[in-house]
Copies of this chain bind each other. A is one copy, B any other.
């Protein structure tokens, strides 16, 4: 008799964005003439760069002709893309990553959810709080997280590292030693970044404890300050303790085009086994490569035109971030993020809960953001705005919020 994986039932419903959607719909129905401005979801809005579009057309034409048609891609990714990554994302920052340490995939969400598979079933994970929910949820499904406590919003076998104003949104070493440490910097949702010295401490800690860091660098392209490392491998010793996740979603507008990669250095060994070989085996057995055309599109991101075009795009979004950050600060809000990331994280005023502020902002300003409590218990009392809107509506949203004060 077949039975289900009961760990799936432990997952509490994911109501965050559906509740947001319902509240917005109800407001819009009651206020049909009011233009609602959505700065809630972390999805890009600018079209794909021209260099990428051109590459997509070229690749489609190749697929139309027998001589240049491509069947199954190499499971781990095409050499042309892996070598472009090694050169542009690592060599330029003084980091030596070999082509066979780079694994192309269909997205950082998939990679960050799948990476746990190569670790022992009883591994204890540590996560920042608040955090991108996929790290915890994928471990819930794999049965590692113990029981959920509705009151605290915490799992009994997960180590939480609160990131609040009190510690500058930078996690402290936990009391209990974790096996796997998920770090996402620049952070979603707080927008905080870790200076190299701080990240080096985590690398040293992981090497000392023989823990593995899963470093999610999906927002690396938004870093503007020179002291912030773009890769964890800029820290000494990271190759023996860290896996790094990267994405084309936020730097090149690929959220609907799907491309990402994970770096697993060959020096990273556990129990005498190279994690690189395990991840390769996982890819080879359970994945069949990203589409040829999309890999060509990714390659184009690294061309001279592509680099210029994505810098313009990122500049556009970062200008929005500055408008939000500066405007809210001027209006008296306590604001962080927005300097090395497309996310602005603000303290809700007058002791409102995250959801109270959501309702207030929607009702009074017609502006939609995301309640911080949706990202974890320590997000309560905070609120996330994103820089991915148009510059016009971003400016208008800020003006509306200013008028509230």
Contacts and interface: CB of A to CB of B under 8 A. Distances in A.
Interface string A25-54: 000000000000000000111111010010
Interface stretch (A159-167, A282-290, A392-400): A282-290
Nearest to A106: B106
Indicate how many identical chains form the complex: 2
Contact of A53 (B63, B137, B179, B292): B63
Contact of A64 (B4, B53, B143, B210): B53
A8 interface: yes
Contact of A211 (B2, B210, B253, B290): B2
B278 A4 contact: yes
Contacts of A6: 120, 271
Contacts of A14: 284
A210 B118 CA distance: 31
Nearest to A295: B256
B70 A63 contact: no
B258 A289 contact: yes
Given A4-B118, A109-B286, A257-B291, 8 more contacts: A2-B212, A3-B119, A11-B281, A44-B71, A48-B64, A48-B69, A138-B286, A291-B294
Closest 9 CB pairs between A and B?
A113-B286, A43-B71, A3-B120, A56-B60, A70-B256, A1-B210, A2-B179, A47-B69, A71-B255
Interface of A: 1-6, 8-9, 11, 14, 43-48, 50, 53, 56-57, 60-61, 63-66, 69-73, 106-107, 109-110, 113-114, 117-121, 123, 134, 137-138, 141, 143, 177, 179-180, 209-212, 253, 255-258, 270-271, 273, 275, 278, 281-282, 284-294
22 contacts: A3-B119, A4-B119, A4-B275, A5-B118, A5-B120, A5-B278, A6-B271, A8-B118, A8-B278, A11-B281, A46-B66, A46-B69, A50-B64, A53-B63, A56-B60, A56-B293, A60-B60, A71-B256, A113-B285, A117-B141, A257-B291, A294-B294
